[in-house]
Amino acid sequence: HFKNASDLSLQQRKSTLLATLHIPSNAIRASRVRQFLTCGKKNCRCHDGRRHGPFHYLVQCMGVGSIRKFLLKTPAQRKEAEASITAYGELQKGLEELSQINTELLRRGLALDEWPRRRAG
SS3 track for 40-82:
CCCCCHHHHCCCEEEEEEEEEEEECCEEEEEECCCHHHHHHHH
Give Dmax over CA atoms of the chain in angstroms.
75
Tens digits of residue pLDDT in 67-118: 999 999 999 999 999 999 999 999 999 999 999 999 999 999 988 886 554 4
pTM of the complete model:
0.79
Write the CA distances from 95 to 17, 22, 66, integer angstroms: 9, 10, 26
Tens digits of residue pLDDT in 49-62: 899 999 999 999 99
